[in-house]
Amino acid sequence: MKIVLVHPAGSNWFPGQKDATVVANRMAPIGLLSMAAYILSTGRHEVIVHDCLGPKASPGPQANVKRILAHRPDMVGFTATTSAFPDANDMASLIKEARPDIKIIVGGVHASAIGAQLLERFDSIDYLCLGEGEETLLELVDGEDLGSINGLVWRDGEQAVTNPPRIHIKHLDELPFPAYDLLPRFPKGYYLPPFSYINAPGATMITSRGCIYNCSYCDRSVFQKGFRSNTADYIYDHMKMLKTRFKVRHINVYDDLFTTNRNRITQICEQLIDRPLGIQFNCAVHTGHADDDLLRMLKDAGCLMISVGIESGDAALMERHKASVTIDQVRDTVERIQENGIRAKGLFMMGLPGETHESIRKTSDFIISLGLDDMNMSKFTPFPGAPCWPTIHDDGTFNEEWRLMNCLNFVFVPEAFESREEIDELYNRHIKRFYHDKIWLKTKLRKRLWQHRHTLWRFIANMPSFLAAKRSFEPKTPSRL
């Protein structure tokens, strides 16, 4: 069977403005590449990956469908976040119009969170893959009886049938490395966020699945609660493959809990120290898993920057939405990361249920006081599989427009605010305050400009898009921040 796996473009920027996100950060679709590699490893099927956000992608559903159909597939599979699902469905409808015989399957976090309702509402979709996709997809393309494929939702006449959930893959080392070679122009057509790396080209990796925490805003519909990970040997070999085959010189590890298994991190750091690959990497740590010995090992192994999930500088909001983390723990963790010679990046979220003008002020002051090397602020978006979803309408107004649910739009407005425009203005001022801070400009950015010449060249090459993005964050009216 020939299957095309598609990464939809979705809605990745602000309504009515050109999408600048792929200019700043173009990530390889690791989930699709993992499934492609798993199916290809059997030698029974042909797999093509079509990335609608890739360097050679065509704009718009019609153009992308034309390219998908040119492969003459028997099945097309889409992975979709909430904001990307409408785009995936639009393409599925066009595919069915042209070739009704092609089977369509949709997986990813949105399908896993909502389930059979999607099959009942959208006629162009034949199957849903709930949860982890490798084994479910392989059994489907192998032609197994539909009723026997765990994790699958399918149609029996007019009725949507949800099969039992699939048991998670216990040993992740059994999976082959993602099929990066299926992406045209990888890795040079893909790049990491600005100022997050020194050496190029870069790539992304995921070395674990699941999370042991229960933050209110996080959708765990695919991998659920728990923690599974690759071994140190597998990770080292994965990094070595990226270096030797694709000349990768920097890797962003996008694990939620990279340092949870201390023994695993000790082993991978020892291997990278004893047998250096000439690669730097970034990762994320939880405040409870970042002692000085671990940080020194990470530094010696080549770690350039560590991200810390903080979300807010307001203690009450932290207690409500991220109870495993305190303000004091955050400050201590950031200080020790930097004392050990590693850059610290703070990850924040504005507009959580219970957010007020005062909590935004506290967060803004907290960010400046931390002396971070970098910061990212997302706009809180309630997702169907998150713990906060059932009660979201009790805490403010919510516009459930899937295309806008991308953490770049305030689809939810906490009850303390009169409008989306009001909280948007506060957000813009908050972002501008950090990046215009004189200490940050002097001690972080200016001293490192030449180190980040690869980022600077990208800025120059895409100057109009970056200037348009900058204007999006310019405050337009006075605010109380």
Task: Quote the pLDDT of residue 479.
Answer: 47
Per the prediction, the chain carries an average pLDDT of 91
* Global confidence as pTM: 0.91
Q: Where are the domains of the chain?
A: 2-162, 192-472
Superfamily of domain 192-472: tm_1862 like domain (3.80.30.20)
Burial class (CB in 10 A: 0-12, 13-18, 19+), 350: buried
* DSSP 8-class letter at 295: H
For the segment(s) 2-162, the CATH number from 3.40.50.280, 3.40.50.300, 3.40.50.2000, 3.30.1450.10 is 3.40.50.280
What percent of the chain stands above pLDDT 90? 76
Least confidently predicted of 129-143, 207-221, 437-451? 437-451
Query: Which tens digit of pLDDT belongs to each residue from 281-313?
Result: 999 998 877 899 999 999 999 999 999 999 999
Strands 228-229 and 208-209: antiparallel
Task: Quote the pLDDT of residue 471.
Answer: 59
Query: Which tens digit of pLDDT belongs to each residue from 374-396?
Result: 999 999 999 998 999 999 999 99
Least confidently predicted of 8-17, 238-247, 468-477? 468-477
Task: Quote the pLDDT of residue 3.
Answer: 98
Question: Is the pLDDT confidence value at 24 over 80?
Answer: no
Least confidently predicted of 5-19, 119-133, 149-163, 405-419? 5-19
Query: Which tens digit of pLDDT belongs to each residue from 125-143?
Result: 999 999 999 999 999 999 9
Task: Quote the pLDDT of residue 205.
Answer: 96
Which of 357, 333, 355 is CA-nearest to residue 346?
333
What distances in angstroms separate CA 335 from CA 239, 266, 297, 404, 431, one per listed residue?
A: 29, 21, 16, 36, 22
**Do residues 261 and 211 lie in contact, with contact meaning Cβ atoms separated by under 8 Å?**
no
Greater confidence, 223 or 415? 415
Rounded Cα gap, residues 455 and 169, in angstroms:
38
**Residue range 174-201: mean pLDDT, rounded:** 93
Query: Which tens digit of pLDDT belongs to each residue from 35-62?
Result: 999 999 999 999 999 999 998 788 889 9
Question: Is the pLDDT confidence value at 178 over 50?
Answer: yes
